[in-house]
Amino acid sequence: MMRENEWTSHYIKEISKIDKGVRAPKALVRTYGCQMNVRDSEKLSGMLAKMGYELTDDEEVADLVIFNTCCVRENAENKLYGHLGNFKERKRKKPHLKLVLCGCMMQQDIVIERIRAAYSYVDVIFGTHNLYRFPELLHSHFETGQTIIDIWSEAREIVEDLPSLREFPFKAGVNIMYGCNNFCTFCIVPHVRGRERSRRPADILAEIRAMAADGVSEVLLLGQNVNSYEFGFAQLLHDVSEIGGIERIRFTSSHPKDVSDNVIATMRDLPKVCKHLHLPFQAGSDRLLGLMNRKHSKKWYLDLVDKIRAEIPEIALTTDIMAGFPGETEEDFLDTLDVVRHARFASAFTFIYSRRLGTPADRMPDQVDEAVVGERFSRLVAEINKISLEINLQKVGKTLKILTESVGKNDVLNGRADDNSLVHFSGDSGLVGHYVDIKITGAKTFYLQGEIV
Does one domain contain both 262 and 409? no
Residue 187 maps to a domain = yes
How many angstroms separate the CA atoms of 383 and 387, rounded? Answer: 6
Q: Do 308 and 217 fall within a single domain?
A: yes
Q: Give yes or no: residues 146 and 175 share one domain.
A: no
Q: Answer with the one of 355, 378, 393 that is the final residue of a domain.
A: 393
Question: Could you tell me if 228 and 367 lie in one domain?
Answer: yes
User: Based on the domain organization, do 195 and 144 belong to the same domain?
Assistant: no
Report pLDDT for 159.
86
CB-based contacts of 311: which residues, under 8 Å, 6+ apart? 264, 265, 268
Is the torsion defined by CA of 160, 165, 170, 172 positive or negative?
Answer: negative
pLDDT of residue 306: 98
Domain contains 157: no
Domain boundaries, position 23: 2-150
Please tell me the total count of domains within the chain: 3
Domain boundary among 115, 150, 185: 150
CA dist 227 to 180, 204, 238, 260, 278, Å? 11, 15, 14, 8, 12
413 and 286 in a common domain? no
Tell me phi and psi for residue 432, to 5 degrees. -60, 130
Same domain for 177 and 146, yes or no, is no
> Which residues of the chain are modeled with pLDDT < 50?
7, 18-19
Torsion of CA 44, 47, 48, 54, to 10 degrees: 110
C-alpha of 352 from chain center: 19
354 shares a domain with 414:
no
Residue 179 in any domain: the answer is yes
Residues 143 and 243 in one domain: no
Domain boundary among 127, 150, 173: 150
Residue 379 domain-assigned (yes or no): yes
* Domain match, 9 and 86 both: yes
Q: Residue 407 sits in a domain of what CATH number?
A: 2.40.50.140
In a domain, 220, yes or no: yes
pLDDT at 241 (0 to 100): 98
Residue 122 sits in a domain whose CATH number is 3.40.50.12160
Residues 104 and 88 in one domain: yes
Q: Are residues 141 and 178 in the same domain?
A: no
pLDDT of amino acid 19: 47
The answer to whether residue 319 is domain-embedded is yes
**155: in domain:** no
pTM higher than 0.85: yes
> Is 276 inside a domain boundary?
yes
